[in-house]
Amino acid sequence: MIKRYTTWNEYLRGRFGEKIFKVPIDAGFDCPNRDGKVAHGGCTFCTVSGSGDMILEPESPIDVQFKVEVEQFHKKWPGVKKYMAYFQNFTNTYAPVEVLRERFEAAVSQPDVVGIAIGTRPDCLPEDVVDYLAELNDRMEVWIDLGLQTTFEKTSRLINRAHEYDVYVDAVARLRVHGIKVCTHLINGLPGETHEMMLENVKRMVLDSDIQGVKLHLLHLMKNTAMQRDYHAGKLKLLSQNEYVTTICDQLELIPKEIVIHRLTGDAPRDSLIGPMWSKKKWEVLNAIDREMECRKSVQGCHDIRKVEKITF
């Protein structure tokens, strides 16, 4: 089925002329809302392993992690020859720039690496780090995966993000001065957020920041997370598959077609997942999104939010 939105795979094939592996790496960083710098405990949806639960060898040196992940990928796609290093777990610019340089260079120096993607928070991008990212950007493809999750301050406080929306807007502007590409992360299904609020998150993100990509995530409720308390207290209602598919399609219609859709759902370790349990069938979810877009005769950006007046709450 032809995709009715601009996929990450499509973008990479257009950029490099072939399929690219995105190789996840755990560089051993922490987060400022975990270690007490701005808060304790981390985001309430986050496990003790962060977003790197699926990484095969998180305790190994970076070069070993890289090789193990590539070997695993090649079992399914033996013909792929180029890679992008993906610093995925926790906040990957939360360290002195000398440390970042050492760890990032260990990955980008691996054979056939054509780029790097770095997951981080908007409050962890001091100027010397941005300057180094700009240097990398002159050498290769660079994407900053910038965790926003929500534009609503009330939700942000509830999930313990510990930074304000304006910090995100400023971070994107400082990265874009250097031409660094930004992929913003949003989570659908956060406590207290309605369908209308989830659409408003997309509207604000697109109107307030010059981004080149977006990841739209489903909230996965995991064992041993602070968010379990919200769930058991009745403050969190997990989305149904139909609700999620409808929300994603409504969001895609608002996002300008030139913005790359890096992800529309995600993976969670099966033994740690509380719900939604339908999310374990990832391809069924993606196929349902494709069918709904086709049924609507809809495409990404058909209601481009940049062409209409912003709605505020």
Could you report the per-residue pLDDT of 93-137, keeping only the tens digit for each?
A: 999 999 999 999 999 999 999 999 999 999 999 999 999 999 999
Q: Is 2's pLDDT higher than 60?
A: yes
Encode pLDDT of 244-296 as tens digits: 999 999 999 999 999 999 999 988 888 889 999 999 999 999 999 999 999 99
Average pLDDT over residues 214-232: 91
Question: Are the C-beta atoms of 265 and 282 separated by less than 8 Å?
Answer: yes
Q: Is 77's pLDDT higher than 80?
A: yes
Average pLDDT over residues 65-69: 92
Encode pLDDT of 145-204 as tens digits: 999 999 999 999 999 999 999 999 999 999 999 999 999 999 999 999 999 999 999 999
* Amino acid 47: pLDDT: 80
* Amino acid 291: pLDDT: 97
CATH number of 8-308: 3.80.30.30
Domain ranges of the chain: 8-308
The pLDDT-based confidence of 56 (bands split at 50, 70, 90) is low
Instruction: Give the whole-angstrom CA distance, residue 175 versus residue 171.
Output: 6
Phi-psi region at 3: left, alpha or beta (left = phi > 0; alpha = psi -120 to 50): beta
- At 221 the three-state DSSP class reads strand
Q: Is 4's pLDDT higher than 70?
A: yes
What's the Cα-to-Cα distance from 224 to each of 49, 228, 238, 273, rounded to whole Å?
11, 7, 17, 10
The pLDDT-based confidence of 55 (bands split at 50, 70, 90) is low
The pLDDT-based confidence of 50 (bands split at 50, 70, 90) is low
Q: Is 24's pLDDT higher than 50?
A: yes
* Amino acid 7: pLDDT: 97
Helices (H), 77-96: none
Helices (H), 142-281: 153-158, 165-176, 195-208, 227-232, 241-254
Q: Is 54's pLDDT higher than 70?
A: no
Q: How many other C-beta atoms lie within 10 A of the C-beta of residue 11?
A: 17
Instruction: Give the whole-angstrom CA distance, residue 291 versus residue 248.
Output: 12
